[in-house]
Every structure is written in C-alpha cells, then in structure tokens.
Amino acid sequence: MFWWILLGLFGVMLIVGIILLIVDAKCWTVDCGPAGFGLTLSGALFLIVFAMVIFAMLVSNNKEISTFIRQKEYFETVVPTLPASDNYALTQKKIELNEWLYKAQYDKKHYSFFSLYSDKVLELTEIQ
C-alpha cells in the first residue's frame, strides 16, 4: 500500500512540474529559476524508478509463491519419511511458511490489486 501512495505523490509532482513549465514559461526570462523543469524531471525520474521497483516486487512475489509450492511438496512427500529427531526444525519452517501464506492471502483479499500478489496465492493451502 505504501508504494501506491508514493506513486500518487510522484504523479502529482510530475503534473505540478508540467503545469509550472507551461504557466511559468515567462518567468524563466526574468530569472525566476526553472522550478517547473526541476519538478518535472525529478517526478519523471522517480516514476521510472518506481516502475522498476514495482516490477522487481512482482517478480519477487512470484518467486515466493513458487518457493512455497516447492517446499510444500517437500513437506508432503519427503518429511514423513524422516526421523523424529528433525521434527522441531521442520515444524518451525512449516510455521514460517504458513505465516507467509496467511499474510500474502490477507494482503490479496483486502488490498486486491494493490498487494501485487497474483491470484494464484489464494489457491494455495497451508502446510499440514
């Protein structure tokens, strides 16, 4: 959600910069300073960086979903054959993975598109 607030702020910054460029074009000849150009340039740069961050988050979320699926398969197939001495560490890992799943599903249900998780996360089930 924080990232979408930043998007709005950078978008407003870009729009204000463009308006200042149009309205205050005469001010440049009186040496008022290039405020419109500065806001437009910085707003555009921030939006480009923001787009790259969003893309990285989308890729990261898809990677986390794939990791969860692989680890769930491991817990369902290999773990039952392991000795009982490894149970504590495996139980801690299950708890960690299920916490991630609950958080991702909560974000997807409550924030929908803004959570940046795919719909695939809602189809996942917890590790038993």
Domain residue extents for the chain? 2-123
In the predicted model, is pLDDT for residue 2 greater than 90? Answer: no
Q: How many CB atoms lie within 10 A of CB 86?
A: 10
Q: How many CB atoms lie within 10 A of CB 5?
A: 10
Q: Give me the mean pLDDT over the 113-119 stretch.
A: 79
pLDDT, position 112: 77
In the predicted model, is pLDDT for residue 67 greater than 70? Answer: yes
Element (H, E) at 26: none
pLDDT, position 70: 92
Contact status, residue 18 vs residue 41, Cβ threshold 8 Å: no
pLDDT, one tens digit per residue, over 28-54 is: 555 555 665 666 667 677 777 777 877
pLDDT, one tens digit per residue, over 88-113 is: 878 888 889 999 999 999 988 888 77
Structure tokens at 44: 């555009």
pLDDT, position 102: 92
pLDDT, one tens digit per residue, over 13-31 is: 777 766 766 666 655 555 5
**Half-sphere exposure of 98 toward its Cβ, with a 13 Å CA cutoff?**
11
What letter represents residue 20's amino acid?
A: L
**Half-sphere exposure of 127 toward its Cβ, with a 13 Å CA cutoff?**
25
